[in-house]
A and B are shown apart, each in its own frame.
Chain A
């Protein structure tokens, strides 16, 4: 059976990993290439590179970094950030990305999802969505979570999957950064709503949070986190060891 995936996320600005990293034995802790290699050796199942650069110059550096990483790291690479057009898909796929995630770009231009899926296949198009709870409704946020669009998150996710998104990354703005566990309620609703793989994001603070995620939502496919891996609070080999001990199918 397919294993549950553990996915470290690297935020990259002007060619450097954002959020300090603190590893013994890593020469250049700010280098996305070095960090990607390190995570791959540690047993990460996939890597997400998120480009948070604002300038065109920084974007060029990003694609260079991506290409360098893809030359050295042989696990699936997902790329997001600043994807607004088919040309953006083309730009990162040529540099070795396997999947491309769209977020604000797809909110502004929903047709981008179908266009990209027709050209590159559904498996290549990932909908990434920042979700915030408002009363009894889940809303879609744009621009890195800064702008609440008022759009219903579950409707948006269903629409995107029907139009060609082959996978969904769900980031809960309510649990993100709080380190008190994933947003199980929201994530269970998303898993029930679509038949494509779902990646949970936002809230992981310790190993038990991942175990809870996969035990409470057996259909969940992957767990994503950034700082807890970067700061070494959770190491991937230990995480996978404990997941396996809890009866969760992982690649070790």
Chain B
């Protein structure tokens, strides 16, 4: 069973619908027992980093997710959920993340030229920088849907895909069983569904 972490940030209608579409049993929960029993966990999220990180800590979900990730359970962060896996974010101040992925979250407009619009919103092509099971059903140049104003940097070792937007933006990361995508697979049509399908095929303890 797959658990979507419910920590009061955003709504998961599209994500749930997409997972149901690929025939997955999904539970949306913040119950530590349910999360512990789940085979895989998705950490979603939209909104601001600081607020989301505080909400994760409030319920002790930060420590729980770190422990479960440490035990090898496949964990996928999506959009803000991916950013939360990083050590630090500089979105309106400085905030601590879960520290499961080395690197930090900084504004997109720090790296792209002035004439480029922020947020980075729309369909962009994936450039696969390192083969990884999460991207096994995806081809170089496949399009996925992005909406974000901040991105992960100083994470070259864990980057598995990037997208070109006046600069090379981190699109997906993986550190063993901990994975993240900056784009929205649940809004990325057939390509996105294939990425979620690949995640559903991962097992705790598999070789990465």
- A residues with CB within 8 A of B: 1-3, 5, 40, 45, 67, 70-72, 74-76, 93-96, 98, 121-123, 166-167, 195-197, 219, 221-222, 251
Q: Which residues of B contact A74 (CB under 8 A)?
A: 14, 17-18, 21, 186-189, 192-193
CB distance from B52 to the nearest CB of A (A): 12
Contact with A along B171-205 (1 / 0, CB 8 A): 00000000000000011110011000000000000
Chain B interfacial residues counted at CB < 8 A: 31
Residue among B123, B147, B164, B193 making CB contact with A45, cutoff 8 Å: B123
- Minimum CB–CB distance for B54 against chain A, Å: 17
B21: chain A residues at CB < 8 Å are: 71-72, 74
Partner of A76, one of B20, B165, B187: B187
Given contacts A45-B123, A70-B13, A96-B14, contact A196 B188 (CB under 8 A): no
Residue in A1, A94, A251 whose beta carbon sits within 8 Å of that of B13 in the complex: A94
How far is A251 from B20 in the complex, measured between Cα atoms in Å?
A: 26
The interface residues of chain B lying within 8 Å CB-to-CB of A70 are: 13-14, 17
* Bound Cα distance from A74 to B17, whole angstroms: 9
Q: Which residue of B lies closest to A75 (CB)?
A: B189
B123 near A2 with CB under 8 A, answer yes
Partner among B13, B18, B146 whose Cβ is within 8 Å of the Cβ of A95: B13
The reply to whether A167 and B187 contact each other, CB–CB distance below 8 Å, is no
Q: Which chain A residues border B145 with CB–CB below 8 Å? A: 75-76
Residues in A neighbouring B147, C-beta threshold 8 A: 123
27 pairs of residues in contact across A and B, judged by CB atoms under 8 Å: A1-B164, A1-B166, A2-B120, A2-B123, A3-B122, A3-B124, A3-B143, A5-B123, A67-B13, A70-B13, A71-B17, A72-B17, A74-B14, A74-B193, A75-B145, A75-B187, A75-B188, A75-B189, A121-B47, A123-B119, A123-B121, A166-B121, A197-B117, A197-B121, A197-B122, A219-B117, A251-B143
CB <8 Å contact, B121 and A167: yes
Report chain A residues within 8 Å CB of B155.
none
B11 within 8 A of A: yes
Partner of A166, one of B18, B119, B164, B187: B119
B 3-22 binary contact with A (CB < 8 Å = 1; else 0): 00000000101100110110
Q: Is the CB of A96 within 8 A of B165?
A: no
Cβ 8 A contact of A121, one of B46, B143, B187, B189: B46
Interface of chain B residues 90 through 149 with chain A (CB within 8 A): 117-125, 143, 145-147
A-side interface mostly? loop
- A67–B193 Cα distance when bound, in Å, is 19
In the complex formed, the residue of B with least CB distance to A196 is B117
A2 lies within 8 A of B187 (CB): no
Contact between B187 and A98 (Cβ–Cβ < 8 Å)?
yes
What is the chain A residue whose CB lies nearest that of B119?
A: A123
**How distant is B181 from chain A, measured CB to nearest CB, in Å?**
14
Give the residue name and chain of the A residue nearest to B115 (CB).
A219
Interface centre among A70, A96, A121 (most CB of B within 10 A): A121
Shortest C-beta distance, A197 to chain B (Å), equals 6
Give CA–CA (A195, B149) in the complex, Å: 13
Cα of A70 to Cα of B21 in the assembled complex, Å: 11
- Residue of A with least CB distance to B118: A195
Cα distance, A200 to B164, chains bound together (Å): 24
Residues of A contacting B118 in the complex (Cβ-Cβ under 8 angstroms): 195
A33–B118 Cα distance when bound, in Å, is 32
- Quote the shortest CB–CB distance from B16 to chain A (angstroms): 9
Q: What B residues does A76 contact at CB under 8 A? A: 145, 187
Q: Shortest CB–CB separation between residue B44 and chain A, in angstroms?
A: 13
A121 contacts which chain B residues (CB < 8 A)?
A: 46-47
| Cβ contacts under 8 Å, A166 to chain B | 119, 121
Selected contact of B122 from candidates A67, A94, A196, A221, CB within 8 Å: A221
Roughly how many angstroms separate A160 CA and B143 CA in the complex, as a whole number?
A: 30
* Contact among A2, A75, A94 for B11, CB-based, below 8 A: A94
Instruction: Known contacts A70-B13, A94-B13, A195-B117; decide if A45 and B188 are in contact (CB<8 Å).
Output: no
Given contacts A1-B124, A196-B117, A197-B121, 20 further A-B contacts (CB under 8 A): A1-B164, A1-B165, A2-B123, A3-B123, A3-B143, A45-B122, A70-B14, A74-B17, A75-B187, A75-B188, A93-B11, A94-B13, A96-B14, A121-B46, A123-B119, A166-B119, A167-B121, A195-B118, A222-B122, A251-B143
